[in-house]
């Protein structure tokens, strides 16, 4: 291989490495508590992020007060714990997480009101693969946008701790109890950045795709929030007409379906996927080599 080809190969390799490497994140997976048998499912969900190449730190917010939230690119908060969850230690950590989020220049947020359904033990249709991809795409979409906070819980017996964070960041609370376990499904908006292929066909309408609410899910906030952000339904019960009132997952990332992206003050409707970025890197490398030849 001649010198020019070696240079070109090195440039492509560097660009590809930086393209894919940019999507690996430092993630904090924070349990609100460590008190019951939902700890292990939470840790399995955290491991999905490890499997995707992210560096994941797991902590319990009731055990110690932490002050290094700024060292993380993403924070996932997992609340499947009953009780008030409002000890002094927990409250200080909730404030630390809120301060981290409120201080971000660009704020990306996902609310998941059926997070336990992402654990393999509770998934019965496509098995682990689709739910693991679902969680991993949360981290992917955050990485493409630079950062993100995911708040995940279930029905109203588990929501008190995490709702403290909702209050502190200016979004409405998790609420309610969708009591159709174990057969409920939530339709996923295919235009949402959080949509992944390979989900189950919805039993109510096989032309659409669903995530399984293999738990008694709660409802998440949608619409304009006190902090000025708009939370768009991502997965919901019923059809698009019900989405704003019966959302199981929502995010700040917008959707063409609901007209919440692309306009003034709204997120872009399109964010390059990692594969697109890699192809762009190759094109740049090729263009640079060709340009030098023409000189």
Q: What is the pLDDT of residue 121?
A: 62
Residue 122 forms part of a structural domain: yes
Q: What is the pLDDT of residues 221-232, one digit of tens each?
A: 999 999 999 999
Residue 18 forms part of a structural domain: no
Domain interval for residue 205: 24-279
Buried-exposed string 191-228: b where 16+ CB fall within 10 A, e elsewhere: ebbbbbeebbebeeeeebbbbbbbbbbbbbbbbebeee
Q: What is the pLDDT of residue 272?
A: 64
Q: What is the pLDDT of residue 285?
A: 43
Q: What is the pLDDT of residue 128?
A: 45
Distances from the Cα of 145 to the Cα of 116, 137, 140, 270, angstroms: 25, 12, 9, 11
Residue 255 forms part of a structural domain: yes
Residue 95 forms part of a structural domain: yes
Domains identified in the chain, total number: 1
Residue 17 forms part of a structural domain: no
Residue 148 forms part of a structural domain: yes
* Intervals of the chain under pLDDT 50: 1-20, 124-128, 276-295
Q: What is the pLDDT of residue 122?
A: 60
Q: What is the pLDDT of residue 197?
A: 86
Residue 132 forms part of a structural domain: yes
Going by the DSSP 8-state scheme, the letter that residue 199 receives in this structure is P
Q: What is the pLDDT of residue 274?
A: 56
Residue 3 forms part of a structural domain: no
């Amino acid at each position: 291989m001649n010198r020019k080809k070696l240079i070109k190969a090195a440039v492509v390799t560097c660009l590809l490495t930086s393209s894919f490497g940019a999507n690996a994140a430092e993630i904090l997976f924070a349990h609100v508590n460590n008190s019951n048998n939902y700890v292990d499912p939470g840790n399995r969900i955290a491991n999905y992020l490890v499997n995707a190449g992210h560096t994941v730190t797991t902590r319990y917010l009731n055990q110690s007060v932490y002050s290094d939230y700024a060292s993380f690119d993403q924070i996932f908060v997992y609340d499947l714990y009953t009780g008030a969850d409002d000890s002094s230690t927990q409250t200080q950590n909730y404030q630390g997480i809120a301060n981290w989020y409120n201080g971000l220049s660009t704020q990306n947020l996902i609310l998941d009101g059926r997070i336990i359904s992402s654990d393999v033990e509770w998934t019965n249709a496509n098995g682990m693969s689709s739910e693991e991809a679902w969680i991993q795409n949360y981290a992917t979409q955050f990485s493409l946008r630079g950062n993100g906070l995911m708040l995940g819980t279930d029905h109203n017996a588990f929501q008190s701790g995490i709702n403290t964070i909702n209050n502190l960041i200016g979004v409405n609370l998790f609420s309610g109890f969708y009591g159709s376990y174990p057969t409920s499904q939530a339709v996923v908006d295919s235009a949402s950045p959080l949509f992944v292929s390979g989900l189950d066909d919805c039993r109510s309408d096989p032309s659409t795709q669903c995530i399984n609410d293999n738990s008694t899910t709660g409802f998440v906030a949608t619409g304009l929030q006190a902090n000025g952000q708009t939370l768009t339904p991502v997965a919901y019960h019923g059809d698009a007409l019900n989405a704003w009132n019966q959302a199981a997952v929502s995010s700040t990332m917008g959707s063409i379906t609901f007209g919440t992206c692309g306009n003034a003050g709204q997120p872009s409707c399109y964010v390059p996927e990692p594969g697109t970025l890699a192809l762009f890197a190759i094109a740049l490398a090729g263009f640079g080599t060709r340009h030098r030849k023409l000189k």
